[in-house]
Structures are given as structure tokens and as C-alpha cells.
Amino acid sequence: MADIIYVLNGPNLNLLGMREPEIYGSDTLDDIAGLLEDRARELDLAIDMRQSNHEGHLVDWMHEAQARGAKAVLLNAGAYTHTSLALHDCIKSIRTPVIEVHLSNPHAREGFRRSSHVGRAAKGTIAGFGALSYLLALEAAARL
């Protein structure tokens, strides 16, 4: 059975493709899921991709990832990246490695986006490459 990678997406990422395409690109979350599933098959991995606008769902899903023995979690926490101590504490409390993912480069944007509670707890961060950020994170997760 293939190792599973959870791909968790936070608030407003359900609007990808429509929301500020000049920043986030024109790919939808379904487009990104398709890219990940194709590459995951080549790497003998399985993807469990989810999105929620609710912080607690992301926490619950990371707990679930650990309980199911997931190889890793790819987490694009959206705006919760900069505000959520709950996500930070969750990442610190589970053994499953978490890789922070961002479509845009938060360091090249507004000042408040340059601080990441998620990044302080994550194994690593991949940002600024659009949909490719997710593929790069999957490659990193495959090698953990």
C-alpha cells in the first residue's frame, strides 16, 4: 500500500483561479490536486487533499494524519499562517512532518505576511513558485 500524504489547504484557497490571479495564478485547487495525484502515482504515494475555511478542521486533519500514519502533511494554511498559534502548537505536537507551502512568496508581500507561526514549527517551507510549490513540497515529502 502506498504511503499517504495529506495536502491541507486553509481559508480562501477554494477560490483559487478566481482570487487575485496576478498573485496566486490561474490554477484552481482541483488543477493542483490533479498535478499532485499524477506525480504521487509516479512516486508510489497517495494524496488526501482537503480544504477548509475553518482553523479547527486543519488541526483535526493533522491529528488524523498522524493517527493514520501519514508520511507527511503539506500545509498551505493561507492567512492562518500568520495568525494561528493553534496550528503552530498542533504541528509541534504531532510526529508527522509538516511542510509549509505557499503559492506566492510571503516575504515579497505585505509586512504582516512575513511572519509565519506555521513556518516556525514546520519541517520546511516552499513558497513563491505557484502550483509548482506543491509539487516541490511533494518531492521533498517523498524523500523524508
**Out of 6, 80, 88, 102, which one is annotated catalytic?**
102
**Out of 24, 80, 117, 134, which one is annotated catalytic?**
24
Distance CA 118, CA 87 (A): 6
Q: Is 57 a catalytic residue?
A: no
Distance CA 54, CA 84 (A): 11
From 77, 99, 96, 108, select the one nearest 10 (Cα to Cα): 77
Q: What are phi and psi of 61, to 5 degrees?
A: -70, -35
Q: Is 24 a catalytic residue?
A: yes
Which residues participate in catalysis according to the annotation? 24, 102
